[in-house]
C-alpha cells in the first residue's frame, strides 16, 4: 500500500523541492490540494485527515497553525519551520547525532527538521562535544555562506528580479546575534553559551558552507588537526549522508559554497594546522539543509532505506 503524503506549502521553495523528489516515487501517493484553497484551514485539515505523513513547509506562524489543524488527525508531521525543533514532544530530525536519534525519529509522530545553518554547525560541533574535545563553554564562532534560496520565495524574487540595485555582493546578516538557529545549536550540542554566528547571503541560488574555527589551546584535550578529523571520520563512518573527506583534502585551496548544490548529502573538511583548526561543512541549504533532510526523515519514519529517492553525490 502506498504511503499518503501531504505537503502543506508545496508551492514554496522547500515544498517544491520535496514535491519534485516525491512525485516520481511509486511508494508514495501525494495528497493534492487545489490552488485556490491551499491556505484554507478546512481544506488543509481535510488533507491532513487523508495523509499518513504531512510536511509543513510554511512560514513559522502558518506552521504553528497547521500543527493545531493536525490535532486529532492520524497524521505524522515533519515540520521544516523553526518553532518546534527543540520543543517538548518533538524529535530533532538529525539522525546522524546517534543511532538512538535515528530510532527516535523512526518512531516519532512529530519531527522538527533542522535549520539549514544549524545542520552545518551541529554536524561539526556535536561529535566533538560528545567526544570531550570541545568543552561545553568553548567560545564558538561560526560563519555560514548561503545561497539566496535560503530566504525563500521573497528573497529569490529579490535576487532574480531587479539587478540594477547594488545588492549582489555577499551580505552579512543576523547582525544582533539572535539568529533563529542558535537555540537548536546550543541545545543539541550541549553548549553553555551561544556561538558568535555570522551568516552571509550571496548571489547564487543554493549551497551552504558552514565554517567553525578552533584554537587547539582552548580545547579540552591536546589534539592535532588530524585527531579532530579522526573523531569526525569515526563518528560518520558508514553514514550515507555525511562524508568526511580524507585528511589533507582542500579542494585545490578553494572551497566553493555551492559545491554541493543539487545534492542531498553533506561533506566535511578539516583544514588548518595543529594550532588553528578549521572544520567546514558543505551541503545544499535546500538538500541536507531542508528538503533532502525532511525526506531522509520521512524514509526513516516509513522504515525504508533513508536514501530512497534522494540525490546523493556519494
Ligand atoms: N529555503 C531554505 O533553504 C530553508 C527553509 N526552511 C524553512 O522552511 C519553511 C518554508 O520556507 P521556504 O520554502 O523557504 O519559504 P517560501 O516562502 O519559499 O514558501 C512558503 C510557502 O508557504 C506558503 N504559505 C504561506 N502561508 C500559508 C498558509 N497559511 N497555508 C498554506 N501555505 C502557506 C507560501 O504561499 P505563497 O506561495 O502564496 O507565498 C509559500 O508557497 C520556513 O519555515 C523556512 O524557514 C528551512 C530550511 C532551509
Ligand atoms: C538567506 C536566509 O535568509 N536564510 C534563512 C534561512 C533559514 C531558514 O530557512 O530557517 P529555518 O530553517 O529555521 O526555517 C535565515 O538565515 O534565516
CATH number of the domain residue 66 falls in: 3.40.50.720
Cell of residue 89, nine digits: 514532544
pLDDT lower than 50: segments of the chain? none
Which pLDDT score is estimated for 78?
98
In angstroms, what is the span from residue 150 Cα to ligand 2's centroid? 5
Which pLDDT score is estimated for 164?
67
- Which ligand is closest in space to the CA of residue 204? 2
- The residue segments making up the domain with residue 79 are 3-113+289-302
Q: Per the domain annotation, does 308 fall within a domain?
A: no
% residues pLDDT > 70 (the chain):
98
Cell of residue 127, nine digits: 561529535
Partners of residue 196 on adjacent β-strands: 141
Whether residues 276 and 206 share a domain: the answer is yes
Which pLDDT score is estimated for 75?
98
Whether residues 121 and 78 share a domain: the answer is no
Q: Per the domain annotation, does 312 fall within a domain?
A: no
Q: Per the domain annotation, does 224 fall within a domain?
A: yes
What are the tens digits of pLDDT across the range 155-192?
Answer: 999 999 876 666 689 999 999 999 999 999 999 999 99
Whether residues 67 and 205 share a domain: the answer is no
Which pLDDT score is estimated for 8?
98
Does ligand 2 lie within 6 Å of residue 82's CB atom?
yes
Rounded to 10 deg, the angle between the 99-107 and 292-302 helix axes is 70
Whether residues 148 and 34 share a domain: the answer is no
Q: Per the domain annotation, does 81 fall within a domain?
A: yes
Whether residues 254 and 227 share a domain: the answer is yes
Which pLDDT score is estimated for 166?
65
Q: How many residues does the chain have?
A: 314
Whether residues 80 and 132 share a domain: the answer is no
Cell of residue 121, nine digits: 554547525
Question: Three-state SS for 187?
Answer: helix
pTM of the model: 0.97
Does ligand 2 lie within 6 Å of residue 150's CB atom?
yes
10 Å Cβ neighbour count for 75? 22
Does ligand 1 lie within 6 Å of residue 114's CB atom?
no
The one catalytic residue in 47, 57, 73, 116 is 116
Which pLDDT score is estimated for 168?
82
Whether residues 70 and 108 share a domain: the answer is yes
Whether residues 46 and 81 share a domain: the answer is yes
Among residues 189, 209, 214, 211, the alpha carbon closest in space to that of 139 is found at 214
Q: Per the domain annotation, does 310 fall within a domain?
A: no
Distances (CA, A) of 112 to 57, 119, 149, 215: 11, 12, 20, 32
Amino acid at each position: 500500500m502506498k504511503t499518503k503524503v501531504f505537503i502543506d506549502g508545496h508551492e514554496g521553495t522547500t515544498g517544491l523541492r520535496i514535491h519534485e523528489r516525491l512525485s516520481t516515487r511509486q511508494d508514495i501517493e501525494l495528497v493534492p490540494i487545489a490552488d485556490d484553497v491551499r491556505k484554507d484551514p478546512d481544506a488543509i485539515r481535510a488533507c491532513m485527515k487523508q495523509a499518513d505523513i504531512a510536511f509543513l513547509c510554511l512560514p513559522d506562524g502558518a506552521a504553528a497553525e497547521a500543527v493545531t489543524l493536525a490535532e486529532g488527525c492520524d497524521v505524522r508531521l515533519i515540520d521544516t519551520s523553526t518553532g518546534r525543533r527543540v520543543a517538548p514532544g518533538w524529535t530533532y530530525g538529525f539522525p546522524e547525532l546517534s543511532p538512538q536519534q535515528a530510532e527516535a525519529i523512526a518512531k516519532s509522530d512529530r519531527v522538527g527538521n533542522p535549520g539549514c545553518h544549524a545542520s552545518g554547525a551541529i554536524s561539526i560541533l556535536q561529535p566533538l562535544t560528545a567526544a570531550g574535545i570541545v568543552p561545553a563553554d568553548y567560545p564558538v564562532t561560526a560563519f555560514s555562506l548561503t545561497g539566496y534560496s535560503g530566504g525563500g520565495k521573497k528573497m529569490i524574487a529579490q535576487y532574480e528580479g531587479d539587478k540594477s540595485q547594488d545588492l549582489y555582493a555577499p551580505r552579512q546578516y543576523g547582525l544582533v546575534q539572535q539568529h533563529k538557529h542558535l537555540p537548536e545549536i546550543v541545545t543539541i550540542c550541549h553548549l553553555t553559551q551561544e556561538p558568535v554566528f555570522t551568516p552571509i547571503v550571496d548571489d547564487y541560488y543554493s549551497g551552504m558552507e558552514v565554517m567553525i574555527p578552533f584554537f587547539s589551546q582552548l580545547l579540552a584535550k591536546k589534539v592535532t588537526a588530524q585527531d579532530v578529523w579522526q573523531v569526525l571520520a569515526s563518528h560518520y563512518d558508514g553514514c550515507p549522508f555525511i562524508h568526511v573527506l580524507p585528511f589533507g583534502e582542500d579542494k585545490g585551496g578553494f572551497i566553493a559554497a555551492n559545491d554541493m548544490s543539487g545534492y542531498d548529502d553533506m561533506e566535511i573538511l578539516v583544514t588548518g594546522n595543529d594550532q588553528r583548526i578549521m572544520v567546514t561543512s558543505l551541503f545544499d541549504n535546500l538538500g541536507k539543509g531542508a528538503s533532502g533532510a525532511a525526506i531522509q526523515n520521512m524514509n526513516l519514519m516509513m522504515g525504508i532505506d533513508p536514501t530512497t529517492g534522494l540525490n546523493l553525490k556519494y
